[in-house]
Structure 1
């Protein structure tokens, strides 16, 4: 390994892993960091990796330079999806064309806080319960307007038992079931 050239006080501040990472994430290329710091290409790469930098491709650098506000906008959008819609880091990464790690970093840059798996599961369960309650209320309105349980089941693609359960959860008074067979005459036995 080649010894590093002596650096001045200003250049030594530029050569720390964190300062290299900051400059890289703001759009500088590795070659530009090499020229500014006086370090070798390999040393700059090692320090970037040491600082936990998510490396990008040349096309990502070009895209970033074309629109310098793209990264902050993406970070804000990912935070909105994460906090308001309950998306996971994996879903954010897939949607943004990034890795989980870079999606996490973008979320933190935008001021977001990373949830635990249990928090995400509870959040999604609460959202499902709210949707189910909303469905139960809409079924109640349609049932009270005269729709039958079999009709509602067909429309919603649920079983009749599920529709009854949802109506019960919504506090719907159930109409008596009608017998659709032949009418019985009183006094006569079959």
Structure 2
């Protein structure tokens, strides 16, 4: 199988956090043209914070897309200033939870939806995460932080209490360790 050839690309809309493009492609196998819409967005980071006692730090927050309060692991956009996924994980962990860790390990990465999104989401394990009491929420964030035992966390995923796909993927990699 060969990659398709990009014949052209046009910006449809630019929303600062992401852009939509119409991409004209040539299927090189069938020699046929197709049009796709692609969302270009920055890479993301999700963090699995583990306390010295072995509990996992989770957050609750409102999500406009599903109009629900969700339970997730901390995460966010990898900023241009972040020198690595681990650096972004360190920053996001403290901003959203007031926990810090210097023991960061990359667990893996996924493409959230390669059918129309261009980005990668990295998963980082933050061991010995300790609360400092200094959150730095973005203006649109309203977050509650709590700790949970690993077995209770597995049940929350199994029963659907946790449905955020990227959180579930990160925890899948974490529990494989």
The TM-score with structure 1 as length reference comes to: 0.22
Which structure is higher in strand share?
2
Larger radius of gyration: 1
Which structure is higher in helix share?
1
Q: Which has the higher contact order (CA 8 A, sep 6+)?
A: 2
